[in-house]
């Protein structure tokens, strides 16, 4: 019963967070200075009529929030026919508007870029989770030894390295052996099958390595402290006293309990997948969402930015919700309060 | 099983990584840096270009990026062979009636669009009229003056203007001739939403083949191009997220050339030292200036109107140091608004105010600005200190430039602490002209008209392009006179006078004329033209060819 309450509360909370983000996301781009039409129109001698045509095309001829004048006249339908209601209506239909720059559908652009980011980030995430947990576990078990010190120092060092710096260093080191940037050699397409994917694989090595190194260190540090805390518990001593093997103590007693903070970490890692790759995508010219966001900022392409922000927020909220729900399954202590 | 999950996944990752590294297709890039891959028989000659942004859309009616690329797809009646050097394009020759109103063009015979449809005078007339009727954003305004466009026969085009223009060649250089077969049946909305690669169909030397947004774009030689098929069969534009990555790719031999405005000045030394790379330093039309608020309703202090104060500011700016610090020497100290790259439009008679803080201080002293309270800042007769707001957009180089300006001003007794702000906030100050001085830079058209237009009074209205707020009756008169003066020499004289007027009134203190830096693999390609300030410009790339 109590657990059901917990789940319900988390879901409701996530839902309202999402609503707040939707509203905030709309106004964030309306409080910025300047007439958006000026961002779309570049021509100095464009006539007023032509400017108006573009204003209508982008729905900017309507009031932003609500039409006070129409409300006074009692025309409720017109009063709420605003940019905000259009935004909500379109959102519900999955329509994120059209880009100022390319005039393409923002949803299409996001879908195109999202799978590329996922391809990029998955490898790095898997490396980080596997290596990070393994090394963190070893360091905690061999606490105080030279091995532990080495792992700890290496982890602290690589964690302190800015991602873009590490990326640029790797890029220069591998220059001539691995491609400098991009997702595939220009001209190759997914239709080319294996040739394409092997080429993508070659392009993936450097960015994956960069992300892997940076994220691994984070996992090592959290895993190490988590396991160390658990190892100090009485039940570990009991397990050892029972004569269980090292492996069994670690696997059945230590690891399971140390997994709780890791679950949060992993969920968050996936939640931030979309936005977390901006630096890596920028260094390695990877055509994913991070690059799209970077370019949209440079071009002040607000509809695209709005779409990406929404996607970011939704994925973080969902990942958090997932972590909360997993907690309920993994940790019997998580109940009502 | 359960015991070994950790080891299994570890092993899997290692195997996967090794596989990816080992089984990838053999690198098309040379393993040894600085050597070109061996030429293969029957391989098309492919030029690979690195750029930071290919373009926003294939649709030419609202695409604002990469005119260099678009000019390889489309033709214009008049072309630009070098900056401000106009030569015949689809029009072989032209003449103008004595009143300057009727222009007759002889259109080249036998030209076809990429889809095989012919491009006669009739088609050119249709394209121009279509551009005017639909108010095509990117280029209709160059035709603002066109009253009637008709084809008299297959090779004769007649244009009637509402009033004479002094820069017909320049205006026509911007208007691409597009095929009726693609655009003819579309409504305005359909034109604006057209995304198909057919949008790239023109009569130019290259055909648009493929574009993957964010990755690459491929164009291929048009065998039927009226000048003959170009020597380079294929051009691949590859997008890099940073300028540095493009530079690294050039050094590694993954690309053969870098697009304009893509090489940071800090990378030039590295590139010059690298084997088989040629760095091209060319003139450009980019200027940097200090804008001084000249709007009568602006929020600047009264003293900023005083010509003596403006002269002292000019004396206080060390343009040479700005060139060295911000451009590492790849620019020239500037005088007037029209840069020297625009040929004889640039008023070369004007001698610049030298960097001389002492002279600046003297000017202020004589005009009655003295430091009465010994705080290092001079005051006017009413005791108001000479304190100004000095703005620029964020950026490391801008920060250094503002410091140089601010330090110089301090030496003449003017306080102007540097403030960096984000571009939107800076632009947000414009409607109310709520600033004193702004450091800014932009690129001019190859004709001086637009550079002069922005100093006319109308441009201060909403939607205008005035950034100084300048408005002067005598200047205004000259502007409208040059606009309708067809004779080059007569127009040049007016343009020179206008530059002198601006130089003396100082709504702008022009600081630098920047260079364009590009680089290419000299072991693979050669003979690029340099006059247009871009080695990938149509006139520059047509003479280029692969190294034998």
pLDDT at B430: 82
In angstroms, the CA B110 to CA B115 distance is 14
* Contact status, residue B179 vs residue B201, Cβ threshold 8 Å: yes
User: Which of B192, B252, B253 has the CB atom closest to A57's CB atom?
Assistant: B192
Q: So where are chain B's domains?
A: 1-73+204-283+516-548, 82-191, 286-514
State which H helix or E strand residue A116 sits in. helix A106-141
In angstroms, the CA B17 to CA B47 distance is 32
Task: Say how far residue B496 (Cα) sits from the centre of its chain.
Answer: 22
- Span B1-73+204-283+516-548: which CATH code? 3.40.190.10
Q: So where are chain A's domains?
A: 11-92, 106-336
Which residues of chain B are within 8 Å of residue A53 when distances are taken between CB atoms? 188
pLDDT at A43: 57
In terms of Cα–Cα distance, which of B136, B132, B133, B126 is closest to B62? B136
Mutate to test the interface with A, among B10, B23, B24 (most CBs of A within 10 A): B24
Q: What is the mean pLDDT of each run of 10 residues along chain A (337 residues)?
A: 78 90 84 65 62 76 74 74 83 84 88 88 88 91 90 91 89 88 88 90 92 89 89 86 84 81 81 76 90 84 88 88 83 63
B418: distance to nearest CA of chain A, Å?
Answer: 22
In this prediction the ipTM stands at 0.80
A181: distance to nearest CA of chain B, Å?
Answer: 7
pTM (whole model) above 0.80: yes
Whether the CB of B159 is below 8 Å from some CB of chain A: the reply is: no
In angstroms, the CA B4 to CA B417 distance is 66
Task: Specify the CATH class of B82-191 in words.
Answer: alpha beta
Which residues of chain A are within 8 Å of residue B239 when distances are taken between CB atoms? 182, 285, 287
* B405-448 pLDDT tens trace: 999 999 999 999 999 998 878 888 888 899 999 999 998 999 99
Task: Specify the CATH class of B286-514 in words.
Answer: alpha beta
Which residues of chain B are within 8 Å of residue A101 when distances are taken between CB atoms? 56-57, 64
* Distance from the first to the final alpha carbon of chain B: 62
Show Cβ contacts of residue B305 under 8 Å, excluding neighbours closer than 6 positions: none
User: Which of A33, A130, A177 has the CB atom closest to B425's CB atom?
Assistant: A33
pLDDT at B423: 80
Show Cβ contacts of residue B242 under 8 Å, excluding neighbours closer than 6 positions: A282, A283, A285, B52
Q: What tens-digit pLDDT sequence spans chain B (548 residues)? A: 344 444 544 444 444 444 444 443 333 444 445 455 555 557 899 999 999 999 989 999 988 889 999 999 999 999 999 999 999 999 999 999 999 999 999 999 999 999 999 999 999 999 999 999 988 877 887 888 899 999 999 999 999 999 999 899 999 999 999 999 999 999 988 998 898 999 999 999 999 999 999 899 999 999 999 999 999 999 999 999 989 899 999 999 999 999 988 888 889 999 999 999 999 999 999 999 999 999 999 999 999 999 999 999 999 999 999 999 888 999 999 999 999 999 999 999 999 999 999 999 999 999 999 998 889 999 998 999 999 999 999 888 899 999 999 999 999 999 999 999 988 788 888 888 999 999 999 989 999 999 999 999 998 887 778 999 999 999 999 999 999 999 999 999 999 999 999 999 999 999 999 999 999 999 999 999 999 999 999 999 999 999 97
For A279, phi then psi, to 5°, come to -65, -45
The domain defined by A106-336 folds into: MetI-like fold (1.10.3720)
* Contact status, residue A66 vs residue A88, Cβ threshold 8 Å: no
Q: Given phi > 0 = left and psi -120 to 50 = alpha, else beta, which region is B383?
A: left
pLDDT at A42: 58
Mutate to test the interface with B, among A136, A187, A191, A204 (most CBs of B within 10 A): A187
* A318-329 pLDDT tens trace: 888 888 888 877
Q: What does the CA dihedral B459, B464, B467, B469 come to, rounded to 10 degrees?
A: 40
* Contact status, residue B412 vs residue B310, Cβ threshold 8 Å: no
* B298-349 pLDDT tens trace: 999 999 999 999 999 999 999 999 999 888 999 999 999 999 999 999 999 9
In percent, the amount of chain B with pLDDT more than 70 equals: 92
pLDDT at B39: 52
Q: Which residues in chain B (119-148) have CB-CB distances under 8 A to chain A?
A: 135, 137-138, 140-141, 144
Distances (CA, A) of B190 to A61, B186, B194: 20, 6, 6
Q: Are strands B508-521 and B78-82 parallel, antiparallel or unpaired?
A: unpaired
pLDDT at A40: 65
What secondary structure does DSSP assign to B77-97, as a single string?
SEEEEETTEEEESSEEEEEE-
Mutate to test the interface with A, among B167, B193, B245, B255 (most CBs of A within 10 A): B245
Helix, strand and coil content of chain A, in percent to the nearest 5, comes to: 75, 0, 25
In angstroms, the CA B17 to CA A332 distance is 39
Whether the CB of B239 is below 8 Å from some CB of chain A: the reply is: yes
Residues A285, B251: C-beta atoms closer than 8 Å:
no
In angstroms, the CA A122 to CA B16 distance is 13
């Amino acid at each position: 019963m109590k657990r059901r309450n917990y789940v319900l509360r988390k879901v409701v909370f996530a839902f309202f967070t999402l609503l707040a983000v939707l509203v905030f996301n709309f106004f964030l781009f309306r409080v910025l200075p300047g007439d958006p039409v000026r961002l779309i129109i570049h021509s100095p001698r464009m006539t007023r009529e032509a400017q108006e045509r573009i204003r209508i095309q982008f729905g900017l001829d309507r009031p932003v929030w609500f039409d006070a004048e129409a409300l006074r006249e009692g025309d409720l339908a017109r009063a709420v026919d605003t940019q905000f209601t259009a935004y909500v209506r379109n959102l519900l239909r999955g329509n994120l508007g059209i880009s100022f720059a390319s005039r393409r559908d923002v949803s299409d652009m996001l879908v195109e870029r999202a799978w590329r980011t996922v391809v990029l980030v998955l490898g790095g995430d898997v490396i980080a989770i596997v290596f990070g947990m393994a090394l963190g576990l070893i360091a905690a078990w061999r606490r105080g030894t030279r091995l532990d010190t080495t792992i700890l120092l290496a982890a602290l060092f690589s964690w302190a390295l800015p991602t873009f710096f590490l990326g640029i260093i790797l890029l220069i080191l591998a220059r001539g052996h691995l491609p400098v940037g991009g997702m595939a050699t220009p001209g190759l397409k997914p239709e080319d099958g294996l040739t394409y994917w092997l080429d993508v694989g070659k392009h993936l090595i450097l960015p994956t390595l960069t992300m892997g190194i940076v994220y691994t260190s984070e996992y090592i540090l959290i895993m190490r402290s988590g396991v160390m805390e658990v190892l100090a518990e009485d039940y570990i001593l009991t397990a050892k006293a029972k004569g269980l093997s090292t492996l069994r103590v670690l696997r059945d007693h230590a690891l399971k309990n140390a997994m709780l903070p890791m679950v949060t970490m992993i969920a968050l890692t996936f939640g931030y997948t979309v936005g977390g790759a901006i630096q890596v995508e920028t260094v390695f010219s990877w055509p994913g969402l991070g690059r799209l966001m970077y370019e949209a900022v440079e071009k002040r392409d607000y509809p695209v930015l709005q779409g990406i922000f929404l996607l970011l927020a939704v994925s973080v909220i969902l990942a958090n919700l997932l972590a909360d729900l997993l907690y309920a399954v993994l940790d019997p202590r998580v109940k009502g309060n | 099983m359960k015991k070994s999950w950790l080891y299994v996944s570890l092993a899997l990752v290692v195997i996967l990584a090794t596989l990816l590294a080992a089984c990838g297709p053999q690198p098309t890039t040379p393993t040894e840096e600085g050597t070109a891959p061996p030429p293969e028989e029957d391989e098309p000659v492919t030029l690979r270009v690195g750029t930071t942004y290919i373009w926003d859309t294939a649709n030419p009616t609202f695409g604002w990026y990469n005119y260099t690329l678009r000019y390889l797809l489309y033709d214009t009646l008049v072309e630009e062979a070098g900056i401000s050097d106009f030569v015949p394009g689809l029009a072989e020759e032209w003449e103008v009636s004595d009143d300057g109103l009727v222009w007759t063009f002889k259109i080249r015979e036998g030209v076809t669009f990429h889809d095989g449809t012919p491009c006669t005078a009739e088609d050119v007339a249709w394209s121009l009229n279509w551009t005017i009727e639909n108010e095509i954003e990117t280029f209709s305004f160059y035709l603002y003056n066109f009253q009637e466009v008709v084809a008299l026969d297959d090779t004769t085009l007649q244009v009637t203007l509402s009033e004479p223009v002094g820069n017909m060649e320049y205006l026509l250089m911007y208007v691409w001739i597009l095929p009726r077969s693609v655009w003819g049946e579309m409504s305005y909305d359909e034109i604006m939403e057209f995304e198909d690669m057919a949008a790239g169909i023109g009569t130019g030397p290259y055909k648009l083949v493929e574009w993957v947004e964010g990755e690459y774009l491929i164009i291929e030689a048009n065998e039927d191009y009226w000048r003959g098929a170009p020597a380079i069969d294929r051009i691949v534009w590859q997008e890099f997220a940073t300028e540095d990555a493009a530079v690294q790719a050039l050094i590694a031999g993954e690309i053969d050339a870098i697009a304009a405005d893509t090489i940071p000045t800090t990378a030039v030394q590295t590139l010059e030292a690298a084997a088989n790379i040629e760095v091209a330093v060319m003139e450009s039309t980019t200027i940097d200036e200090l804008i001084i608020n000249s709007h009568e309703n602006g929020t600047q202090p009264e003293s900023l109107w005083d010509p003596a104060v403006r002269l002292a500011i000019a004396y206080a700016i060390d343009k040479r140091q700005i060139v060295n610090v911000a451009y590492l020497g790849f620019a020239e100290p500037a005088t007037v608004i029209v840069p020297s790259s625009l040929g004889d439009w640039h008023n070369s008679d004007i001698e610049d105010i030298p960097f001389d803080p002492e002279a600046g201080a003297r000017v202020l002293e004589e005009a009655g600005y003295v430091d009465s309270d010994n705080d290092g800042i001079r005051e006017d007769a009413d005791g108001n200190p000479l304190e100004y707001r000095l703005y620029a957009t964020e950026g490391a180089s801008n920060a250094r430039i503002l410091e140089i300006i601010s330090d110089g001003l301090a030496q003449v007794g003017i306080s102007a602490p540097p403030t960096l702000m984000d571009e939107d906030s800076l632009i947000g100050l414009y409607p109310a002209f709520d600033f004193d001085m702004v450091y800014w830079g932009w690129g001019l058209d190859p004709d001086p008209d637009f550079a002069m237009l922005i100093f006319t009074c109308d441009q201060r209205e909403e939607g205008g392009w005035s950034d100084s707020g300048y408005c002067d009756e005598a200047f205004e008169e000259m502007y409208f006179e040059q606009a309708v003066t067809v004779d080059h020499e007569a127009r040049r004289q007016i343009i020179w006078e206008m530059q002198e007027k601006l130089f003396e009134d100082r709504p702008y203190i022009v600081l630098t004329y920047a260079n364009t830096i590009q680089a290419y693999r000299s072991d693979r390609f050669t003979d690029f033209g340099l006059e247009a300030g871009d080695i990938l410009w149509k006139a520059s790339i047509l003479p280029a060819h692969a190294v034998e």
